[in-house]
Amino acid sequence: TISSATGCFSSDTLVTLVNQQQIPIGKLQVGDELLSIDGNKVISTEMVMMLDQNQLSSGYLVIYTII
Protein backbone atom coordinates (compact mmCIF):
# COMPACT_ATOMS: atom_id res chain seq x y z
CA THR A 1 0.00 0.00 0.00
CA ILE A 2 1.39 3.40 -0.94
CA SER A 3 0.15 6.41 0.97
CA SER A 4 1.31 9.99 1.19
CA ALA A 5 -1.14 10.80 3.99
CA THR A 6 -0.26 10.82 7.65
CA GLY A 7 -2.12 8.70 10.15
CA CYS A 8 -2.80 5.01 10.62
CA PHE A 9 -3.91 2.08 8.51
CA SER A 10 -6.65 -0.36 9.53
CA SER A 11 -5.45 -3.84 10.51
CA ASP A 12 -6.96 -5.36 7.35
CA THR A 13 -4.97 -3.11 4.97
CA LEU A 14 -2.85 -5.29 2.69
CA VAL A 15 0.93 -4.84 2.56
CA THR A 16 3.36 -6.56 0.21
CA LEU A 17 6.26 -8.66 1.48
CA VAL A 18 9.52 -8.93 -0.48
CA ASN A 19 8.37 -12.34 -1.78
CA GLN A 20 5.36 -10.53 -3.38
CA GLN A 21 2.89 -12.13 -0.91
CA GLN A 22 0.24 -9.70 0.33
CA ILE A 23 -0.92 -9.97 3.95
CA PRO A 24 -3.02 -7.77 6.26
CA ILE A 25 -1.00 -5.38 8.43
CA GLY A 26 -2.55 -7.05 11.50
CA LYS A 27 -0.76 -10.31 10.63
CA LEU A 28 2.73 -8.78 10.32
CA GLN A 29 5.38 -10.07 12.67
CA VAL A 30 8.67 -8.56 13.80
CA GLY A 31 11.31 -9.57 11.26
CA ASP A 32 8.97 -9.62 8.24
CA GLU A 33 10.60 -8.05 5.16
CA LEU A 34 8.30 -5.54 3.45
CA LEU A 35 8.45 -3.66 0.19
CA SER A 36 8.71 0.08 0.74
CA ILE A 37 9.35 3.25 -1.25
CA ASP A 38 12.44 5.45 -0.92
CA GLY A 39 11.90 8.41 -3.21
CA ASN A 40 11.09 6.68 -6.49
CA LYS A 41 12.89 3.40 -5.68
CA VAL A 42 11.25 0.25 -4.34
CA ILE A 43 13.32 -1.10 -1.45
CA SER A 44 12.94 -3.75 1.24
CA THR A 45 12.66 -2.92 4.91
CA GLU A 46 12.35 -5.05 8.03
CA MET A 47 9.41 -4.63 10.39
CA VAL A 48 11.01 -4.06 13.80
CA MET A 49 8.14 -3.21 16.16
CA MET A 50 4.34 -3.17 16.44
CA LEU A 51 3.16 -0.58 18.93
CA ASP A 52 -0.51 -1.62 19.20
CA GLN A 53 -1.91 -4.99 18.25
CA ASN A 54 -4.87 -5.41 20.59
CA GLN A 55 -7.26 -7.67 18.66
CA LEU A 56 -10.12 -7.08 21.10
CA SER A 57 -10.46 -3.36 20.41
CA SER A 58 -11.39 -1.54 17.26
CA GLY A 59 -8.95 1.02 16.00
CA TYR A 60 -5.80 1.35 13.99
CA LEU A 61 -2.28 -0.05 14.03
CA VAL A 62 0.87 2.04 13.81
CA ILE A 63 3.93 0.34 12.32
CA TYR A 64 7.46 1.70 12.53
CA THR A 65 10.23 0.39 10.32
CA ILE A 66 13.88 1.35 10.10
CA ILE A 67 14.98 2.02 6.54
DSSP states along 6-61: -S-B-TT-EEEBTTS-EEEGGG--TT-EEEEEETTEEEEEEEEEES---TTS-S-B
Q: What is the DSSP letter of 64?
A: E
pLDDT tens sequence for the chain (67 residues): 455 555 667 788 899 999 999 999 889 998 999 998 888 899 999 888 776 555 555 565 566 666 5
Is the entire prediction scored with pTM above 0.85? no
- Give the C-alpha separation, 8 to 52, whole Å: 11
pLDDT of residue 55: 54
Q: What's the pLDDT score for residue 24?
A: 93
**Which sign, positive or negative, has the C-alpha torsion 40, 37, 16, 56?**
negative
